[in-house]
Amino acid sequence: MSQPDDIQVLWCDPALLVINKHAGLRTLPDGYNPTLPHVKRLLEQEFGRLWIVHRLDRETSGVLLLARTAEAHRSLNTQFEQHLVSKIYHALVIGNPDWQEKTISLPLRPNGDRHHRTVIDLDQGKPAVTRLKVMERFDHYCLIEAIPETGRTHQIRTHLSSLGLYIAGDKLYGARKNDFYSDVGLHLQRDLALDEKSIGGIGLHAFSLEINHPTHGERLKFEAAYPEALAYILEQLRELGKQK
């Protein structure tokens, strides 16, 4: 079975299609330029009609779930609405907090400023809860596990930035002039060539997603390998740590 645009298929059956979306690829059509590539258009060429169940930001990589029937779509939507879906993200952030675990509960309002960012709004925002845990620490960075208990737009990015932690390469919530690599201060003089898809992302990866199968109810967990760029940067940060 071919994989359009080098999209990695993690699971495929008559009801479900699960992929590891690469950074830089849109989940749905762009509102300004609908001709740009997006997941639905690329995959429907191979798998027939698909229903988007949830979204990942264009810059975010990782597990993305699609339904292959209307019935599966309804079942999965219900699971999301009833908080039966478990999602785990990994984020490489600039900063090193003094806590090991933290739960942040701050209401969010999308498109809340002139840059179209999600903002914290205690009066008009919708409830949003994210559980955070530091997985690895480096000199000026850390790898954080983020578990969103709600599914607000840019929830993890906004909650982290409210703590003074910015995802590497995030020009919207972090340093606008920097990219994934300058944010972590690494030079790209290496043998492994990174293509445009690898460079177009940020240090946020949808690592796993757990659902009840919409047809037979079995609990399933899908995990997506890190994109090439994030894996390389983490490898380099670990090596730098060993040298000190």
Contact between 78 and 53 (Cβ < 8 Å): no
Q: Cβ(156)–Cβ(112) under 8 Å?
A: no
Residue with tokens 């849109």: 26
SS3 for 138-177 is CCCEEEEEEEECCCCCCHHHHHHHHCCCEECCCCCCCCCC
Strand partners, 27: none
Q: Kindly name the residue from 5, 13, 57, 123 that is annotated as catalytic.
A: 57
- Catalytic residue check, 57: yes
Q: Count of residues for the chain?
A: 244
Active-site amino acid positions: 57
